[in-house]
Amino acid sequence: MGSQRGSAAVAPILLVLVVLGVTVAAVALWPLVHARDDTAGLRPAVATVVEPAPCGTRTAGDLLDVHVDGDVRSARYDGCGHLAGQRLDVLVPAQDRPGARARPVAAGVSEQQEAAARAHWVLLTLASVSGGCYGLLLSTRR
């Protein structure tokens, strides 16, 4: 009878650990699933700052001449404080649209990398805790 009572006491603990593990995994992976790739429909280009905008004020951003496939088009930059004539690597929409904005090259990648790093550490911690709990359950069983 003693061994049956012991295994019956372990079952709710395992159930709670499994539910906790699934919940933590879902919380960790949720941002990763919903992190969107903001670089879709954009392509890299080289731009030259034509009209810098000062930082700290509500400006539209620096005005750039963007060089794409031999064409030069104007676009506002999601940034400020660059020097006139400075060359920047930017992402621009594939189709030329009025009012299009140029973005820094690394702007769309950071959200996904941040979510992936967060999921990595949470899942690593979960694996460590669950492995420790499993070891503890095996050691108390003997």
Q: What is the pLDDT of residue 70?
A: 77
Q: How far apart are CA 11 and CA 16, in angstroms?
A: 9
- Which residues have CB under 8 Å from 5's CB, separation 6+? none
Q: What is the pLDDT of residue 110?
A: 61
Q: How far apart are CA 120 and CA 63, in angstroms?
A: 39
Q: What is the pLDDT of residue 2?
A: 47
β-bridge partners, 136: none
Rg value, the chain, Cα: 26
Q: Could you list the pLDDT tens digit for every one of the 142 residues in the chain?
A: 444 555 667 778 778 878 887 887 777 777 666 655 555 677 888 888 888 888 876 777 778 878 777 778 888 887 788 888 888 888 888 777 777 788 877 655 566 677 777 778 888 888 888 888 888 777 776 6
Q: How far apart are CA 120 and CA 113, in angstroms?
A: 10
Q: What is the pLDDT of residue 36?
A: 58
pTM to 2 decimal places: 0.46
Q: What is the pLDDT of residue 84?
A: 87
Q: What residue type is 83 in one-letter code?
A: L
